[in-house]
Amino acid sequence: MIRTLLRSAWAAAALAAAALSGCNSDEEILGRPAPEIILSNPSGVYAVKTGRELLIAPEYRNAEEAVYVWLLDGEPCGDGPAYRFVGEEEGSRYLDLKVTTPGGTAAEQLRIDVEALTPPYITLPGAAEGFDVAAGTELHLAPVVQETLPATFAWSVDGTEVAATREYTFVRTERGTYTLRFAATNEDGTEHVEFAVRVCSEEELPFGWEFDRTEFGVTTGRTLTVRPVSLRNEAGAEFVWTLDGTEVQRGTQSEYVFRAGGEPATHTLEAAMNKGGQSLRRQFTITVHPPKAGYRPATSASRAACNAVYAFLPAPGQFVQFGYSAATMEEACAHARKTLEDPEAGLSLGAFGGTLVVGFDHSIDRTEGYELAIQGNPFEGSSEPGIVWVMQDENGNGLPDDTWYELKGSAWDDPDVVRGYAVTYYRPSGPGTDVVWRDNRGGGGILPRLEFHTQDYFYPLWADDGGTSYTLRGTLLPDRAYDQSEGTGEEEYWVLPDFGWGYADNWSAEAMDPDHGNLFRIADAVDDAGNPADLEYIDFVKVQTAQMAVHGRIGEASTEVFAIGDYTLLRRK
């Protein structure tokens, strides 16, 4: 069809040229030079934003008595020396120009790339819920603005402009609710975020807590810590804990340590958070299981490698959804299991908190040596350590829903290690954009995209159930990496030092098998207080990226896992 249109259009131009030549003598036509088209862009490729107009007005030589024919994607669209194009939809369009005179014909094909408008994109964690602040207390607001074009900024409070900066510190002594608006503007448009700030007295500040579960299991004789994963405005609050109707703890402690007795039982634990005459209450069920309720001894048919993936929830990272895609946790776990079956392939857990949870077809018994092997891809000067956690199937239901115990590594006593660290990652605005993050210690930033990774998203789209963010928690190791080329003028060369022993994807001279990776002992499992957990066996293993760091052109620190196995069986082969 397009070829037919082209032939018809060119034929019309030829007939018009013939008509022109019929009005001249042979002497006048003979020796006339052919026309020339001189484009303003010699490459022939033009770009325009959606909704915007593009004027294409070439210069011409020898164009007296010319007939002009323009075709847009094969369809006639103009007959003058210039053409005005309006970009309606994203994509590439092809524009053909033919100029015919009594002296001959010239033709050019142009491409017009219609690009999306790129107004600034604003992320301000917490804005959707609004902010509560005590009267006279500063609230520093630092939105993350992703812009590809220069932008200007404006802050207003209750409609009155107060600042033209990217960041703003709000403070008021008068109690009440204020409406704040932040706008960012560039040549493609304006985006804004509007939110409420409630200024209260100390007594009026809303308070709260969040728990990740309400049901707990523990084996007889062990301890279990019940604690909130987050607290809000807890200063001055009193916490009251009641076990089976009897008050067992009162004070400022927001956690409770339950000590299981020697017999199986089910207990009801209640917690109250009291402040300013108000109270928030939570109720939990704790089941005490008999020893070895879920124990499954190894047999001659047992596999050394893990045989099940229960969770694959990476943090955003350059290799997340690189070469694969997943829309649900089930699809992500299926991809992870298939990858772990391939000896040449590995899984990237992304930035801090990225998690992989696996199980085995048997319980792995504690021995006098190493019982667990995790294969990564470290080498000397390149370690991206992951924390390893283990769990027993205490309730015997075959699922990793009991208590996780961290395997103590060589950096356990390092004062820079942070336990209970949490990072919230915010869903990006669209393909190709960076990911904004905030932690539970007041820090934050962005995870930048690397130009040589071309997947649309390196934020796992199955992570937030269609929401706007998700939070990962765990233990944070300090970032010891450095750019060895700094100050030399040479290309970046990053060195990522190891952590001795006790971490996945970590170069180790002390606890590493060249064929099976990092080695671990069940005896190193500890409880929340750092006391030995005294596990006789384990059923589930969790690996968690342990650093929150971006290292220049090589990107974020990201633990990789290629295989997880029962080392007591692997070394028999």
Each residue of 105-158: pLDDT tens digit?
Answer: 999 999 999 988 888 888 898 898 899 999 999 999 999 888 778 999 999 999
Provide the pLDDT for residue 510.
Answer: 86
Q: 156 CB contacts (<8 Å, ≥6 apart)?
A: 162, 180, 181
Identify the CA nearest to 439 among candidates 476, 414, 389, 481.
Answer: 476
CA 119/CA 187 separation, integer angstroms: 7
Provide the pLDDT for residue 573.
Answer: 67
CA 307/CA 520 separation, integer angstroms: 19
Task: Indicate the burial class of 59 (C-beta count within 10 angstroms; 0-12, 13-18, 19 or more).
Answer: exposed
Q: Locate tokens 């009155």: which residue?
A: 160
Q: Fold match between 121-204 and 208-289?
A: yes
Confidence check: pLDDT of 4 > 60: no
CA 108/CA 69 separation, integer angstroms: 11
| Mean pLDDT, range 417-429, rounded to an integer | 92
| Mean pLDDT, range 284-297, rounded to an integer | 95
In sign, the C-alpha dihedral spanning 361, 363, 369, 374 is: positive
| Mean pLDDT, range 512-529, rounded to an integer | 95
Provide the pLDDT for residue 79.
Answer: 96
Structure tokens at 62: 């020898």
Q: 440 CB contacts (<8 Å, ≥6 apart)?
A: 230, 420, 421, 422, 423
CATH number of 121-204: 2.60.40.10
Given a contact cutoff of 8 angstroms between Cβ atoms, the answer to whether 522 and 372 are in contact is: yes
Confidence check: pLDDT of 202 > 90: no
Length of the chain: 573
CA 197/CA 551 separation, integer angstroms: 36
Provide the pLDDT for residue 3.
Answer: 30
Question: Domain residue spans in the chain?
Answer: 2-115, 121-204, 208-289, 308-570
CA 246/CA 258 separation, integer angstroms: 13
Mean pLDDT of the chain: 91
pTM of this prediction?
A: 0.79
CA 249/CA 269 separation, integer angstroms: 11
What pLDDT digit, counting tens, does each position of 325-369 carry? 899 999 999 999 999 999 889 999 999 999 999 999 999 999 999
Given a contact cutoff of 8 angstroms between Cβ atoms, the answer to whether 290 and 222 are in contact is: no
Confidence of residue 31 (pLDDT cuts 50, 70, 90): confident
Given a contact cutoff of 8 angstroms between Cβ atoms, the answer to whether 184 and 429 are in contact is: no
Q: 436 CB contacts (<8 Å, ≥6 apart)?
A: 123, 125, 144, 425, 426, 428, 444, 445, 446
Confidence check: pLDDT of 12 > 50: no
H or E element, residue 240: strand 238-243
CA 355/CA 14 separation, integer angstroms: 68
CATH class for the domain made up of 208-289: mainly beta
Q: Do the bridges between strand 131-134 and strand 189-200 make them parallel or antiparallel, or are there none, so unpaired?
A: parallel
Given a contact cutoff of 8 angstroms between Cβ atoms, the answer to whether 385 and 547 are in contact is: yes
Confidence check: pLDDT of 266 > 90: yes
Confidence check: pLDDT of 25 > 50: no
CA 298/CA 308 separation, integer angstroms: 16
Tell me which amino acid residue 555 is.
Answer: G
HSE-up of 461 (CA within 13 Å, CB side)?
13
Given a contact cutoff of 8 angstroms between Cβ atoms, the answer to whether 20 and 103 are in contact is: no
HSE-up of 385 (CA within 13 Å, CB side)?
30
- 407 alpha carbon, distance to own chain's centre: 26
Provide the pLDDT for residue 252.
Answer: 95
The torsion angles phi and psi of 167, rounded to 5 degrees, stand at -110, 160
In CATH terms, the fold of domain 2-115 is: Immunoglobulin-like (2.60.40)
